[in-house]
Amino acid sequence: MIIVMKPKTSIETINKLKNKMESLGCQTHEIVGENYSVFGLVGDTSKIDRSQIQANRDVEKVIFVQEPYKKANRIFHPQDTIVKIGDKQIGGSKFSIIAGPCSVESKQQLISIAEEIKESGASFLRGGAFKPRTSPYSFQGMREEGLELLKLAREKTGLPIVTELMSADKIERFVEDVDVIQIGARNMQNFDLLKEVGKTKKPILLKRGMSATIEELLMAAEYIMSEGNEHVILCERGIRTFEKYTRNTLDLSAIPVIKKHSHLPVIVDPSHAAGLWWLVEPLAKAALAVGADGLMVEVHNDPANARCDGQQSITPERFNDLVSKLKKLANIENKEI
């Protein structure tokens, strides 16, 4: 961190700030110019309150050298993190596919989809039991009953289950029942919830907020990791832009950017990004090409009658076709499905 003082700041004022920084465990190195005094901070700056320095009336500007996230930062952890879930994994040489309906609707619906996606090559089953809906009048999910059906589908297929946790009061149940806990886009900055899942040992699928920067996503991961849970999988699911032809805009560049700055695995959700079923295939192929560690795809046996997100859900047949195309691409990228 580099602190530039206002022109003509007195030596006493500069020394006061320098002493404060040193008392927080940093070394300071000063450059005195004709008009400006500048000093650099070396050491662990993660505990320094940046906004407090910026609020100091004697400070002209602050230049940040180190990113504010530490545990998620590749600098301190150069090798890729691989999150293990039973005999499955996300990260490394694997391109892992999570698939399933937006929401669990019935036993018959869930089991038939789970069997079909497994047959096609999916490694995980997704399905919302507690649904974050924009309208309180929309279907809110089957809740506890939905969790029971997910467990049944896991028993029948062996596929680990991924489902969204919306509030901390259900955390014990989720730790007990679920293989990967999903934190949805709308809760990416629910810091209390992040801290609570950080206290567990469960793998966490953290979705990018719809108007969150990459740094904010990594800081959300940092909340989880700072509590001791380092099994975090990131998910790019599209961000809000001015574009209206798609539900969100898939930020494909986020994948290589995250890979450069962080060691955490990152997957892509083309379904929520596009909001349109016919865009799922091209976006899924693009995700593989830009280096994603996997996908989360919404699959429904009867999209026209789905209780949630039918417009972006692909049928099991189309999913099967998609996976066979992705297998060919994965070969080129030295990834395994």
Using CB under 5 A, list all residues that contact Mn ion: 102, 309
| CA-to-CA separations, 307 to 145, 232, 246, 277, in angstroms, rounded | 16, 29, 20, 15
List the Cα angle 92/90/306 in 5-degree steps.
145
Residue 79: other Cβ atoms inside 10 A: 8
Nearer to Mn ion, 170 or 247 (CB): 247
Residue 101 engages ligand PEP in binding (rule: CB under 6 A):
no
Which of 237, 247, 259, 335 lies at the binding interface for ligand PEP (CB under 6 A)?
Answer: 237
Which of 48, 113, 185, 225 lies at the binding interface for ligand PEP (CB under 6 A)?
Answer: 185
Site string for ligand PEP, 249-288 (x = CB under 6 A): --------------------x--x----------------
Residue 122 engages ligand PEP in binding (rule: CB under 6 A):
no
Residue 210 near residue 216, CB atoms below 8 Å: no
Closest CA to 190 of 213, 216, 172: 216
User: What amino acid is encoded at 22 in this protein?
Assistant: E
Nearer to ligand PEP, 269 or 281 (CB): 269
Structure tokens at 159: 């596929």
Residue facing ligand PEP at closest CB distance: 184
3 state DSSP class of 249: strand
Structure tokens at 265: 């695995």
Selection from Mn ion, ligand PEP, none that 294 binds (CB < 5 to 8 A by kind) is: none
Selection from Mn ion, ligand PEP, none that 185 binds (CB < 5 to 8 A by kind) is: ligand PEP
Radius of gyration, alpha carbons of the chain: 23
Selection from ligand PEP, Mn ion, none that 237 binds (CB < 5 to 8 A by kind) is: ligand PEP
Under the rule (CB under 6 A), what is the footprint of ligand PEP? 102, 128, 132, 164, 184-186, 207, 237, 269, 272
